[in-house]
Copies of this chain bind each other. A is one copy, B any other.
Amino acid sequence: MPAAPADKVAIIGASGALGFGLAVRFGRAGVPVAIGSRDPARAEEAAGRARSAAGTGDFSAHDNAQAAREADTVILSVPFRNHSETLANLKEALSPGKLLIDATVPLAAAVSGKATRMLGVWQGSAAEQAAEMAPAGVRVVSALHTVSAAKLNDLDRVLDEDVLVCGDAREDKREAALLIERIDGLRCVDCGPLETSRTTESLTALLIGVNTRYKVHAGIRLAGLPDVPWE
């Protein structure tokens, strides 16, 4: 059954490793994907690679702003050094009512520091910065920080981990969760208000350290939490 157009997701920064992995996994799951990149040529190239990796799926290529116009749900997956500039450039495209899922992590690597350390963000987290910068009426949640890009990109890998979702409105988190859970093996957990993103974002730096130390691609699982449906 083909997915309804309402399912379409735009990925801002889809030529990056996390964005690309998400694009491929969503495409395979039957979710139409608007692939966004700063450079339309890189978007085209990424869409071609995604088609070929997924073997199926509906991928279109755009610059970031046009990608954001193409879908009601927009995933923001850019390096933190581009986070503020990207959001400023999306002001026109992010019309009221859109759902913005921010996956950005303020790693110190953004300023040539360690990827195992975080930058202090005045608002508290990248997600709170996004909420401050997004136009009024845009609904902001954060998610997907702890999902390994390498694992998403390796389609032979079975995913089996949790996605920690933060946001100030339960309904927005639910909407994000129902989309994200279309990717097999990802379970979304409501981790509280958007401010808790301070913790979920910083888990990425912790996992990068663990990955280096143990030579793995680790994710997070909340132990002792039974499957609780979002519906």
Q: Does A160 contact B (CB under 8 A)?
A: yes
In contact, B223 and A219 (Cβ under 8 angstroms): yes
**Contact flags A178-214 to B (C-beta < 8 A → 1, else 0):** 0000000000011110011011101101110110011
CA gap between A200 and B220 in the complex, in Å = 13
A29 at the interface (CB under 8 A from B): no
Q: Are A218 and B214 in contact (CB under 8 A)?
A: no
Q: Is the CB of B200 within 8 A of A225?
A: no
- In the A-B complex, the 10 residue pairs with the smallest Cβ-Cβ separation, listed nearest first, are A161-B223, A221-B221, A192-B209, A219-B223, A221-B223, A199-B202, A218-B222, A218-B225, A199-B206, A218-B224
Within 8 A of B (CB), among A13-41: none
Contact (Cβ within 8 A) B213 A223: no
Beyond A217-B224, A222-B219, whether A199 also contacts B192 by CB under 8 A is no
| Contacts A116-B196, A196-B116, A205-B199; A223 near B160 (Cβ below 8 A) | yes
A-B contact pairs, 8 of them (CB 8 A): A161-B223, A162-B223, A189-B210, A199-B205, A203-B203, A216-B226, A220-B221, A220-B222
Known: A191-B206, A214-B228, A218-B223. 9 other contacts (CB 8 A): A116-B196, A117-B195, A191-B209, A196-B206, A216-B224, A216-B225, A218-B224, A218-B225, A221-B223
**By CB atoms of chain B within 10 A, which of A118, A148, A196, A199 has the most?**
A199
Chain A interface residues (CB < 8 Å from chain B): 116-118, 148, 151, 160-162, 164, 189-192, 195-196, 198-200, 202-203, 205-207, 209-210, 213-214, 216-226, 228
* Residue in B closest to A148 when the chains form the complex, CB atoms: B224
Q: How far is the CB of A44 from chain B (nearest CB, A)?
A: 33
Q: How far is the CB of A212 from chain B (nearest CB, A)?
A: 9
| A202-B198 contact, Cβ under 8 Å, with A161-B223, A218-B222, A224-B219 | yes
The one of B118, B192, B216, B224 in contact with A213, judged by C-beta atoms closer than 8 angstroms, is B192
Using known A-B contacts A216-B225, A222-B219, A224-B219, determine if residue A199 contacts B196 with beta carbons closer than 8 Å. no
